[in-house]
Amino acid sequence: MQTKKPISDVYSNWSQLQEHAKEWQNRTLKQAFEADTNRASRYTVAAAGLELDYSKNHIDDTTLSLLLSLAEQADLKNAIKKLLRGDHVNNTEDRPALHTALRFSGEAKTDEQREVAPVLDKMAGLIERVHSGAWTGFSGKKITDVVNIGIGGSDLGPRMVTKALTPFHTGDVNVHFVANIDGAEIFDLCQSLDAESTLWLVASKSFSTLETLQNALTARSWMLDKGCPEADLGKHFVAISSKVDKAVEFGIDEENIFPMWDWVGGRYSLWSAIGMPIAFAVGMENFNKLRQGAAALDDHFAEAPLERNIPVLMGLIMFWYSNGLGADNQAVLPYANHLQLLPAYLQQLEMESNGKSVNKQGERLGYQTGSVVWGTEGTNGQHSFHQLLHQGTVLTPIDFIAPLKAHHPLAHQQKYLVANCIAQSQALMTGRDLEASKAELRAQGVNESEIDLLAEHKVHPGNNPSNTIVMEQLSPETLGALIAAYEHKVFTLGVLWNINSFDQWGVELGKLLGTHVATAIDTTDIPSDWDSSTQKLVKRFIEANN
Ligand code: F6P
């Protein structure tokens, strides 16, 4: 059995962190705040329109200095420089990870930026032609609906941002998303579409993703069924891909194909033409503001000292929970309904980037890496899983995200929303001990025998950690900065774990076996060397559908 590399082989002072972690077993956050009235201001950093309050974490100056020593041992500063200048940090695919090059503004200064600039111009031209009605469908109608067909990084980012920027929608077109191979998604949507005024965006970096190609073929058939002459299909299909030849082979007119590049990972690509649905929804000007917001955070990431660097702090603190304090999950709770798709987007960004068990040198790891990311928009989560967060047995570091000002006029509801966000982080941290629970019951007139029974059940242990990220208001700029902060947090964690955050070899086996099972269904020839469960399930599907 191959030995697994322990974290103590990576960091010379790991035993010091272990000892320090023990100290935190006997300390509470409540005590930490009582001991330092300046704790909140000392542990808050502002940049690019974001304010990170990381004071409600199991950290103190000793913790931070120990974590910063790890960053030094991992040579994080140089790793950041290499990422941003285009070194082949994606070592297993021998590629750069230059998503930051996608969000430059002004004059193009690098080879990558010179490749990006004309594509952005072409994107702006398409958006303008469709919005103005200059681009028409096969019967001469203006386009009213744009449908993005894509999955994973070709869906989650654009879908999340389009939802998040609802207040900025221009109203020129309705934007929809189809991702799942479950035909229900595209079938249901088509009931509400007019083929004559629908534009399909086929978004696929590889142009070989089963779900996307099947949905694109369905869309093509539907257009023909609805009377679109084959010769006019080009008026209704645009493609975004790094495989232009495959898109042409599929039948999309070359002038309607927008290139992307191998030096951009799919889950990092919303800043490229993959972000076209965003631009259709909010206009090119707001799409560029999104990119500029991210660029401002990039500058902060590149220039701020590690101890005052928002993504670095987010990464170091998550490393501390994962490898020092034993957390295997993290929750993202955005207190903004328009950010309801953010947790799903971050699941791919964090878990597909850092869900690895081999380091960059190919050595199997004996320590935890990427954790499970989950969450729901607040206050909805309070009526779903907050019971577990308050009184459960699982350590879940939380990121609360709170835009302070709303875009809607319901100021009193915005007050309750943000008040709840603040109160949840407070209640999770301070808790309520047995004496306080008894006192509350007494104040309610409960008799002593019932108090003895109930009081323990009403104890909130507290000491639950969280970050709170606030912004003045959710805008293209602050959203861009927020997303970039998470991208660079993920990178920071990858460096600390010495893993490649930019490949995703782990998605291949499932896809391959999927084709084998589909073939077995088609032929009803089920391999006898398959396990009995798989054989039985395939037979069951065949029975149900014949
Ligand atoms: O999940 C695997 C994956 O390759 C993701 O990394 C990617 O974002 C998604 O599938 C879609 O890939 P493509 O854009 O090539 O269709």
pLDDT one-digit tens code per residue, 207-219 = 999 999 999 999 9
pLDDT tens-digit map of 460-491:
999 999 999 999 999 999 999 999 999 999 99
List residues bridging with 332 in a β-sheet: 399
Q: What is the pLDDT of residue 329?
A: 98
Using the predicted structure, report yes or no on whether residue 419 has a pLDDT greater than 90.
yes
Rounded to two decimals, the pTM is: 0.98
Q: How confident is the model at residue 33 (pLDDT cuts 50, 70, 90)?
A: very high
Torsion of CA 180, 186, 187, 188, to 10 degrees: 100
Instruction: Pick the catalytic residue from 352, 377, 477, 487.
Output: 352
Helix (H, G, I), strand (E, B) or coil at 172: coil
Instruction: Tell me what the pLDDT averaged over the chain comes to.
Output: 97
For residues 288-315, b (16+ Cβ closer than 10 Å) or e, as one string?
bbbbbbbbbbbebbbebebeebbbbbbb
Average pLDDT over residues 380-389: 98
CB 21 within 8 A of CB 453: no
Q: Does the Cβ of 210 fall within 6 Å of ligand 1?
A: no
Q: Does the Cβ of 130 fall within 6 Å of ligand 1?
A: no
CB 361 within 8 A of CB 430: no
Average pLDDT over residues 272-289: 98
Q: Does the Cβ of 267 fall within 6 Å of ligand 1?
A: yes
Atom of ligand 1 nearest to the CA of 274: 14
Cβ contacts of 84 within 8 Å, gap of 6 or more? 100, 298, 301, 302
Handedness of CA 305, 311, 313, 319 (dihedral sign): negative
Using the predicted structure, report yes or no on whether residue 1 has a pLDDT greater than 80.
no
Q: How confident is the model at residue 183 (pLDDT cuts 50, 70, 90)?
A: very high
Q: Does the Cβ of 152 fall within 6 Å of ligand 1?
A: yes
Residue 290 CA to residue 481 CA, distance in Å, equals 8
What does the block give as tokens for 508? 């291949």
Helix (H, G, I), strand (E, B) or coil at 485: helix
Q: What is the DSSP string of 5-36?
A: B-HHHH-TTHHHHHHHHHHHHT--HHHHHHH-
| Ligand 1, pocket-test mutation among 148, 154, 210, most atoms within 8 A of CB | 154
Q: How many Å from the N-terminal Cα to the C-terminal Cα in the chain?
A: 46
Q: What is the pLDDT of residue 296?
A: 98
What's the CA-to-centroid distance between 40 and ligand 1, angstroms?
A: 40
Residue 316 CA to residue 311 CA, distance in Å, equals 9
Q: What is the pLDDT of residue 407?
A: 98
Cβ contacts of 17 within 8 Å, gap of 6 or more? 11, 66, 67, 70, 320, 324
Atom of ligand 1 nearest to the CA of 209: 16
Atom of ligand 1 nearest to the CA of 150: 16
Q: Is 511 a catalytic residue?
A: yes
Using the predicted structure, report yes or no on whether residue 2 has a pLDDT greater than 80.
no
Q: Is 539 a catalytic residue?
A: no
Q: Does the Cβ of 151 fall within 6 Å of ligand 1?
A: yes
